[in-house]
Chains A and B, each alone.
Chain A
Amino acid sequence: MLPIQTALPLCEMLAGDVFFPQQASTIAPGVDKLFYFIFWVCVFFFVLVVGFMTAFLLKYRRKENFDASGPTHNTLLEATWSVLPFFIVCYMFYEGVIGYMDLRSAPESAYEIKVRAKKWAWEFTYPNGYSTNELHVPPNSPVSLLMQSDDVLHSLFIPAFRVKMDVVPGRYTKLWFDATVPGKYDLECTEYCGEKHSEMLAIVTVHNDRSEFDAWLAKASDVFGPVDRGEKTLAQVGSELALRKGCGQCHSIDPQKSKKTGPAWWGIFGEDHQFVDGTSAKVDENYIRESVLKPTAKVVKGYGGNMPSFAGQLKDREIDALIEYIKTLK
């Protein structure tokens, strides 16, 4: 069973470029080209080394001749193989620096999206203040990400764009790209950040054109509009919020109350909670509000108190929506 399951993705992979995923940004073709230049230089030297090694092994294999003699040094030869690689690596260095400067210098006109990384979710905030766990960008225009971390080191990596930058607590870091091909791409955390490092993923959506992107943003930002118009309940908005804010990374919502980093939400409203300091309290509106804004005030017994605060990130009405949503989980 296993070989069949695995053979298919492998074939798909080999059918494309052996080394790279799709090229979907302006800098990707240049990076790949430089990679393949180095690749062929490496192939040349590898074949040279292993070729000579094999030839010498075959030709000079010990038979009857238990003694051998040959040159012990040759200054010209040694100088040549010291200096020649020097020129090749100088060229690699030069090309690498040029490409790197492009990667690190965002155009002035870039569309700025703020990124907040926390264990183990991404939050992208658009210029109008709307924030979500998905990165949406317009095509063929520079986008820059201004990134900060709430807790430990993270790193934002979009393989299809060939960009990566660490997200460091206590300072801002920046990254930019210009996406060329509409579609959906993976975004991964590449700096180890604890238990669910490997699940700190997000989807990047490159829209077909600028107006489609603007329309998406306008619709998505209108969080409470559908509630005011009576199209959705507050609890439905709460469930979407929970998804966008990455609550589900740590809080399960299934009736089996599967254990994650934080307490499960199913049937939680109205329950009595025991805390690590020995006290207890009933889960009500005020308790949930406090847990969102000051998560370490009451840590449930058996849990580590890992949750970052959402003070300043969730508005009152959003907290209302979350509370309504949690009430429905039973």
Chain B
Amino acid sequence: MATVAEPMLAHKHEPEENYLTCSSGFLSWAMTLDHKRIGVMYLFAVTASMLLGGVFALLVRIELLTPDKTLMDHNTYNHMFTLHGAVMVFLFIIPSIPAALGNFILPVMLGAKDVAFPRLNLASFYLWVAGAIFFLMAIAMGSLDTGWTFYTPYSSSVISGSQAGGIVAAVFGAFILGFSSIFTGLNFIVTVHTLRPPGMTWFRMPLFLWALYATSVIQLLATPVLGITLLLLILERTLGIGVFDPALGGDPVLFQHFFWFYSHPAVYIMILPAMGIISELIATFSRRHIFGYRFIAYSSIAIALLGFLVWGHHMFTSGQSPLATVIFSALTFTVSIPSAIKVFNWLATMYKGSISLATPMLYAQSFIFLFTIGGLTGLFLGTLAVDIHLHDTYFVVAHFHYVMMGGTLIAFLGGMYYWWPKITGKMYNELWGAIGCLMVFVGFNLTFFPQFMLGSQGMPRRYYTYLPHFQGYHVISTIGALVLGTGIGVALATLLWSLWTGRKAPANPWGGVTLEWTCSSPPPLANFEKTPTVGDPYDMEQVKWDAKTESWIPRPVSERTGNSASH
């Protein structure tokens, strides 16, 4: 195999310069067209957004410690949960894995020098920044209280000056962020189609790339609908054109259809890349060829397509027709199957593996545990008779946090730990990495598991005050949130600390066989000196452990048995 010589070479002569050291100064970052630097800027920006959204979440949880006022008044609480949702969804979860980790990893994993349109890539980052500025404006005006869903007519009936301004600013921010998302999606689709090196056929692409590709398709097709909807909302608010507000002759349920036509596929924008990361982590840390590669790849595409057809399940109690409700329920159940397939495939990949419990794998195991709960509790909500009772209660809150946070955030942290040595060239402390993961896992379950019972007992969402008999579960949940917040702090601090104290990372610390592990850590500006050629992305025999350098090195062809990649 032709690839073998090059990584060996990379080991012997580490390139003098990498993408971090090849140039310096503010402008070298601000005007960079390098996908890796753009990825790092995104990583910094979305992580900061996550912390901001996390602070709002903690304030919400602390307020809910007692049935009446704990810290803040009604309006402040309503601002807090709105900002928590809006910041987490629009500024963090949607761009987290695709724009931050995806930007860095996709071209390297693909064996390309950059994305297809580097300038568009930088433009999408600055659009993100512009959108974020509008969000900060809305926060500064202190008046965004519509919930992240901006439901009409609450959001479209002008109540007073600054409130109106805050809502318009946030909606416009979300509109701009949509374009950022569209540009990234477009860029990734073209990159995957046109920049694959010789030998990288569609079915030799790592599953993370399949996941990013499926995600990009959704971003490209669904986000414009959100843009149009938000624009109509702004027009209604500012010019009084009746679209959604019944007082002006509009229909509020129409807004829900438009909104969820984007926002439900957006759930898959959030979870598909996370599933992609988990496929990589499980294979690498089990030293096993991924089980059922084609089923996982196809299930990503199936989820992306079916995801467009289920938006109505957010509206089972909204007054949409019973026939539509029944059809949406049926379609909703079809999405559960490809998700289940992935979980079974990950388990089968661990079978007969050689499993290392390094921190990224701990996150992958947490993901399977939490995502299984998140996915299974979706069955209650897809079942119509049961959903009517659970709709808009804490059961739903618990369910989507298990999927979005237990899924996407956990995978994001796992991916960060996995690719951190590649991105920064530093190894983090394994013990502290594991402690952080454990705290996140325990804190997460403490926070959100009680919310299932709260919800089915009848505690509605978005409540500032609540009936006293709900307090017990709320106290457990708040304590959990504090543990969870601390855990995330430990996890991030462990990574940052490694920048100063971490030992230098080898090219391949984990034994991964996808292409990013064949270039040095951190990679040189152009990623690869020669266009690499490609084999099976999960043929673990391509590398072996080298105790001397404490890293994985290419295994000469003569030592290979050919068993691990047998089909």
Q: Does B388 contact A (CB under 8 A)?
A: yes
The CA of A153 and the CA of B155, in the complex, are separated in Å by 11
Report yes or no: B354 in contact with A72, Cβ–Cβ below 8 A.
Answer: no
The CA of A319 and the CA of B41, in the complex, are separated in Å by 63
Report yes or no: A192 in contact with B389, Cβ–Cβ below 8 A.
Answer: no
Which residues of B278-329 are within 8 A (CB) of A?
286-295, 317-319, 322, 325-326, 329
The CA of A65 and the CA of B385, in the complex, are separated in Å by 51
A164 contacts across to B, CB distance below 8 A: 317, 388-389, 391-392
Report yes or no: A67 in contact with B540, Cβ–Cβ below 8 A.
Answer: yes
Which residues of A260-317 are within 8 A (CB) of B?
304, 306
Q: Does A61 contact B (CB under 8 A)?
A: yes
Report yes or no: B252 in contact with A170, Cβ–Cβ below 8 A.
Answer: yes
A196 contacts across to B, CB distance below 8 A: 74
Given contacts A13-B472, A52-B347, A53-B365, contact A72 B153 (CB under 8 A): no
Report yes or no: A66 in contact with B471, Cβ–Cβ below 8 A.
Answer: no
Report yes or no: B457 in contact with A21, Cβ–Cβ below 8 A.
Answer: yes
Counting chain A CB atoms within 10 Å of each CB, the highest count among B357, B377, B380, B382 belongs to B380
Our pick among A60, A151, A170 for the contact of B286 (Cβ within 8 Å) is A60
Q: Does A38 contact B (CB under 8 A)?
A: yes
The CA of A295 and the CA of B561, in the complex, are separated in Å by 84
Which of the 9-residue segments A42-50, A208-216, A227-235, A321-329 touches chain B?
Answer: A42-50
Report yes or no: A194 in contact with B460, Cβ–Cβ below 8 A.
Answer: no
B336 contacts across to A, CB distance below 8 A: 85, 89
Given contacts A42-B377, A166-B319, contact A99 B385 (CB under 8 A): yes
Report yes or no: A18 in contact with B453, Cβ–Cβ below 8 A.
Answer: yes
Our pick among B153, B295, B322, B456 for the contact of A100 (Cβ within 8 Å) is B322
Q: Does B159 contact A (CB under 8 A)?
A: yes
Which of the 9-residue segments A4-12, A106-114, A236-244 touches chain B?
Answer: A4-12
Least CB distance from B458 to A in Å reads 3
A99 contacts across to B, CB distance below 8 A: 384-386
Our pick among B317, B393, B460, B561 for the contact of A165 (Cβ within 8 Å) is B317
Q: Does B379 contact A (CB under 8 A)?
A: yes
Our pick among A97, A162, A166 for the contact of B318 (Cβ within 8 Å) is A166
Which residues of B488-542 are within 8 A (CB) of A?
511, 538, 540-541
Q: Does B203 contact A (CB under 8 A)?
A: no
Given contacts A19-B456, A35-B456, contact A66 B465 (CB under 8 A): no
Q: Does B544 contact A (CB under 8 A)?
A: yes
Least CB distance from B15 to A in Å reads 28
The CA of A85 and the CA of B299, in the complex, are separated in Å by 15
Our pick among A66, A73, A152 for the contact of B545 (Cβ within 8 Å) is A66
Q: Does A256 contact B (CB under 8 A)?
A: no
Which residues of B414-458 are within 8 A (CB) of A?
452-453, 456-458
Given contacts A56-B347, A66-B544, A198-B465, contact A72 B565 (CB under 8 A): yes
Report yes or no: A68 in contact with B322, Cβ–Cβ below 8 A.
Answer: no
Q: Mark A169-194, 1 if CB is under 8 A from B, else 0.
A: 11101000000000000101111111
B24 contacts across to A, CB distance below 8 A: none
Q: Does A168 contact B (CB under 8 A)?
A: yes
Q: Does A157 contact B (CB under 8 A)?
A: yes
The CA of A188 and the CA of B271, in the complex, are separated in Å by 32
Residue of B nearest to A159 (CB): B458
Q: Does B49 contact A (CB under 8 A)?
A: no
B462 contacts across to A, CB distance below 8 A: 192, 197-198
Q: Does B120 contact A (CB under 8 A)?
A: no
Our pick among A69, A96, A191, A195 for the contact of B387 (Cβ within 8 Å) is A96
Our pick among A2, A11, A69 for the contact of B475 (Cβ within 8 Å) is A2
Report yes or no: B160 in contact with A90, Cβ–Cβ below 8 A.
Answer: no
The CA of A30 and the CA of B386, in the complex, are separated in Å by 9
A199 contacts across to B, CB distance below 8 A: 465
What number of A-B contacts does a CB cutoff of 8 Å give?
Answer: 303
The CA of A30 and the CA of B389, in the complex, are separated in Å by 12
Report yes or no: A6 in contact with B154, Cβ–Cβ below 8 A.
Answer: no
The CA of A86 and the CA of B340, in the complex, are separated in Å by 10
Q: Does B123 contact A (CB under 8 A)?
A: no
Report yes or no: B75 in contact with A195, Cβ–Cβ below 8 A.
Answer: yes
The CA of A85 and the CA of B458, in the complex, are separated in Å by 29
Report yes or no: A73 in contact with B294, Cβ–Cβ below 8 A.
Answer: yes
A330 contacts across to B, CB distance below 8 A: none
Q: Does A71 contact B (CB under 8 A)?
A: yes
Report yes or no: B330 in contact with A93, Cβ–Cβ below 8 A.
Answer: yes
The CA of A190 and the CA of B128, in the complex, are separated in Å by 33
The CA of A104 and the CA of B472, in the complex, are separated in Å by 34
The CA of A100 and the CA of B318, in the complex, are separated in Å by 14
Which of the 9-residue segments B30-38, B107-115, B368-376 touches chain A?
Answer: B368-376
Residue of A nearest to B545 (CB): A66
The CA of A153 and the CA of B246, in the complex, are separated in Å by 11
Report yes or no: B333 in contact with A153, Cβ–Cβ below 8 A.
Answer: no
Report yes or no: A45 in contact with B540, Cβ–Cβ below 8 A.
Answer: no
Q: Does A128 contact B (CB under 8 A)?
A: no
Report yes or no: A49 in contact with B368, Cβ–Cβ below 8 A.
Answer: yes
Q: Does B353 contact A (CB under 8 A)?
A: yes
The CA of A319 and the CA of B441, in the complex, are separated in Å by 59
Given contacts A96-B385, A155-B392, contact A304 B160 (CB under 8 A): yes
Report yes or no: A38 in contact with B151, Cβ–Cβ below 8 A.
Answer: no
Least CB distance from A18 to B in Å reads 6
Report yes or no: B354 in contact with A66, Cβ–Cβ below 8 A.
Answer: yes
| A-B interface, 3 closest residue pairs, ranked by CB to CB distance from nearest | A99-B385, A10-B472, A170-B246
Beyond A193-B154, A306-B159, 19 extra complex contacts between A and B, CB < 8 Å: A10-B471, A12-B469, A13-B472, A46-B373, A49-B372, A56-B347, A56-B353, A62-B356, A69-B352, A72-B291, A73-B293, A74-B291, A100-B329, A166-B318, A168-B253, A190-B460, A194-B78, A194-B145, A197-B463
